[in-house]
Amino acid sequence: MLGEFSKSSSTIADLYSQSKSRRFSNELLAKFGIIHRVPFDWVYSEKLRSRWDFKNFEFAGEVVSKFEDLIPFHISSAGNHRDIGGYILRLNEMDCYFRIESRQNTVIIDLYNHDLIMFDRLLSALKSSAFLWHGFINRSVVEGYRFYTFVGVKHETSFAQLMQAEYKHVENINRLC
């Protein structure tokens, strides 16, 4: 599984060995960080810094230049497979960072930084899709940092199950009309 990213003959031994330095590419470590919603420095170094960064997206994010190529594609492709990716939407010298997860009849979108125009465009795109959307502020593993999470589902029962299984800590959930 990790073969193409590792330069070691024993990747498991590298993970557990204190004496060896890590031999994984920055891209693999960044993908791990995106999947698990942790900053790159938490995956890369032994020192945990209490700040958020966007290095994961710089190393492993897919850059897109049109909003229309980002969100509607993932909404329409939520099928029977599971996919998690990091995306950089580069517009007018501003970068917006998204973590988008699509799985069976569900799309989860994390918006890590934004401005009001981007936020409005995202809400408009979500509301115009066939999914039922809920939004909330999600807390990060980094103390004091929060980001927006939007969950789109085909059926309300799927949302309730997802929230019970993965987002029990969330208190204020807003339904997008």
Query: What is the band of 3 on the pLDDT scale with cuts at 50, 70, 90?
Result: very low
Query: Which residues touch 73 (CB under 8 Å, ≥6 apart)?
Result: none
Residue-wise pLDDT tens digits, 7-57: 444 455 555 555 555 578 899 999 999 999 998 988 887 777 777 888 899
